[in-house]
Amino acid sequence: MKIILHGYTGKMGQIVQEVCAENDEYEIAAMIAFDSQKEADHCYSSFEECNEEADLVIDFSSRAATEALLAFCVKRNLPLVLCTTGQTEEEKQMIKDASKNIPVFFSANFSLGVAVLASLARQAAAMFPDADIEILEKHHNRKADAPSGTALLLADEIKEVRTDAVYAAPRGNRKRQKNEIGISSLRMGNEVGTHEIYINTGSECLTLTHQAYSRAVFAEGALKAAEYLLTKEPGLYNMKDMVAEI
């Protein structure tokens, strides 16, 4: 599988390179980053410079590149694994529009464990319809967005069975509303990523937790998503779709 890696200078981009170097099934045909120092012939600082043939694009960059990235993939008819979060509603609509022309795999988190956590959270929320639900997410002190895309993904899963739910992120100086899902964020040290879901009935509390020990889990998940995407028609796909076919 030949890959164009967008955002190769970032931490996750570097980890994707390391994982690919250890697996003969993956070949990085070209790498793009706006801050590229063009360390090799196949490194570029813009989409316009890149003419290499590839099977798809994997993106670990920033939401600021969303529009240009989608335009490049649609123009080249390249499937896209989009691993960047924090998009505006307008940018999310751009992603949906692009998926009418190419396969797009878009997820806030590429860990299989988080996909299982989301499924468990949805089931538990349905089992305890009157319980208070709070989500706590922890990440390193360099993370730009809060709450995390994964915390919002988990809240969205819960909202599927609690359709009247509203998000409180943060709650502020007021009492808790009956139908809200509280989302709290911690930013500290080198925390890779921890997500905790509390489902409290008043007489008991169920706590669901996922903790990532290495960022390699996200790179491995993105590559699995890439393999999955190569078999798909244009459309918008996510971890739930892939897990359902395992």
Q: Any residues with CB less than 8 A from the CB of 25 and at least 6 apart, and which?
A: 1
Helix, strand or coil, per DSSP, at residue 119:
helix
Overall residue count recorded for the chain in this entry: 246
Q: Any residues with CB less than 8 A from the CB of 19 and at least 6 apart, and which?
A: 26, 216, 219, 220, 223
Of the residues 143, 224, 232, 240, only one is catalytic, namely 143
Per the structure block, which two tokens stand in for 27? 């070949």
Active site residue 178: no
Active site residue 42: no
DSSP 176: P
From residue 132, give the alpha-carbon distance in Å to each of 128, 167, 208. Answer: 9, 12, 14
CA quadruple 115, 117, 122, 125: dihedral, nearest 10: -170
The residues with which 136 forms a beta bridge, in sequence order, are 184, 196
Per the structure block, which two tokens stand in for 115? 């996909």
Of the residues 6, 138, 139, 195, only one is catalytic, namely 139
Q: Kindly tell me the burial class for residue 81, based on how many C-beta atoms sit within 10 Å of its own C-beta (0-12, 13-18, 19 or more).
A: buried
Per the structure block, which two tokens stand in for 102? 């190419």
From residue 90, give the alpha-carbon distance in Å to each of 38, 95, 97, 151. Answer: 32, 9, 11, 20
The residues annotated with a catalytic role in the active site are 139, 143
